[in-house]
Amino acid sequence: MYGEGELNARLMLVALSPGQNEDREGKMFIGPSGKILDELLQSAGIERNSLYMTNLIKCVLPKNRKPKQDEIEACSPVLDEEINMLLPDIIVPLGYYATRYILTKYAADPPLAHTDFQAVYGKLIYSNDQKTFPLPHPASLIYNPSYKQETMKKYHKLEILSRDCKWATMCPMKWYFEKGRLQRKWIELYCKGDWESCIRYQKEASGTYHQDWMLPDGSLDESLI
């Protein structure tokens, strides 16, 4: 089963595999985890049809078992093809297997231990010219409903990532970048990414003075003076 959704989407969600219902109907996320995903998207103010959604494994995994490495190797070329065709600005892998595959594909140093993946969920990563924003799989809330508030905060960030910073066209960072004085990662991670976390943005919003040579993380780069 291939993905579905907006072909020009800025965000591509990558889940693990279709369930029985999804496979039968040929639709993504229509079972219990789809209900949770819809709730998370709705609370974040994201329209489901503004996204493209697909899976790492293209067939149903019997009894929802874990995928085997040879199954990942057999199916991942199809996912690679979808990524190459759609060129999403940000890939959003959901859960451990999709996150491990995508971070490995872009040489973004995935954690070694399964348990350490919690630390990358909700973090915007830029590696090999690709932005990745791993999130917990919605199905994880079926087993751990107490994580709901924390998970909702992470999904809230999807709405921020769905648009550029409102000051992106007039910010001095744009000018420094166009003059070759600033690394692209600053633009991708903040101006076209998580602008809500930009210290410059926060200072602008509160009317607080900051130097023109302040980087988005709040550090000062005197070479920009």
Which residues contact ligand SF4 by CB under 6 A? 165, 167-168, 171, 173, 190-191, 195, 198, 200-201, 204, 216
Q: How far is the CB of 176 from ligand SF4 (least distance, A)?
A: 10
State which residue, 83 or 189, has the beta carbon closest to ligand SF4. Answer: 189
The minimum distance between CB 201 and ligand SF4, in angstroms, equals 4
* CA gap 136, 86 in Å, rounded: 23
Question: 32 or 172, CB closer to ligand SF4?
Answer: 172
* Least distance from ligand SF4 to the Cβ atom of residue 164, Å: 8
> Smallest gap, in angstroms, from Cβ of residue 168 to ligand SF4?
4
Nearer to ligand SF4, 147 or 167 (CB): 167
Terminal-to-terminal C-alpha distance of the chain: 53
Comparing CB distances to ligand SF4, the nearer of 6 and 204 is 204
